[in-house]
Amino acid sequence: MSTPQLVVHRDKELMAQAAAARLITRIVDAQASRGFASVVLTGGRNGNALLSALAAAPARDAVDWGRLDLWWGDERYLPEGDPERNVTQAREALLDSVPVDPERVHAMPASDGPHGEDADAAAAAYAGELARAAGAETMRPASADGVPAFDVLLLGVGPDAHVASLFPELPAVRETERTVVGVHGAPKPPPTRISLTLPAIRSAREVWLLAAGEDKAKAAAMALSGAGEVQAPAAGATGRARTLWLLDAAAASRLPRSLYPPAMS
């Protein structure tokens, strides 16, 4: 488990642009070192802002999009193409404008797919897809955690300190064995979702948490001030090599001064 590092930007637009530039560099470095890269995308306001900034970035063509595996940290369990699905929003923000390999875009199942309304079965199917990808990696054998060695796993932080679809106190945040679970009774619509679990999240080399806006200030302060992961799931989202919090000034406004970086970019 890595100690969180903080980067605070003046505003949400600069944060999105800087995060996009940082992600391009990380992907290019991974592709140069072993031929491919693996990234877990997040939805929501800040996740989609990052993807839009990436689409507009002049350096985006430095990425070999055909050698990039894309996964999702969670998904709203809705029909394919629903505008509220994270993958639908990601396609609009970025994926439809870059030459990704469709076989390497690993969307989570939809509610009108082969599993029907059974979100738990859909979650198990996605866990199987992750496990097969982990076993196929040439740089390491399949591991006990059953997920690929993600280079970067992106997470938006909710106002209640939830990440992915792991909400405070719900059963999914307490899961210790499975890598993907169905989420039922989520406190924000839609109530049924699919999510990576904290063990799966913590298998990533780097976990980047995105928080912009005054409505995220309390959550960031809570997660970074020693709260437990059941009460503040963001507190339990850490990478093996690096945990990076990317915030704007509004989201960082309630952080203890001992945590606040000395300068903003």
Question: What pLDDT, in 10s, does the model give residues 96-127?
Answer: 999 999 999 999 999 999 999 999 999 999 99
Question: What pLDDT, in 10s, does the model give residues 54-66?
Answer: 999 999 999 999 9
Phi, psi of 147 (to 5 degrees): -135, 155
Domains of the chain: residue spans and CATH: 4-241 (3.40.50.1360)
Angle between helices 44-56 and 12-34 (to 10 degrees): 70
Average pLDDT, the chain: 93
The structure's pTM equals 0.94
Burial (Cβ within 10 Å: 0-12, 13-18, ≥19) of residue 160: middle
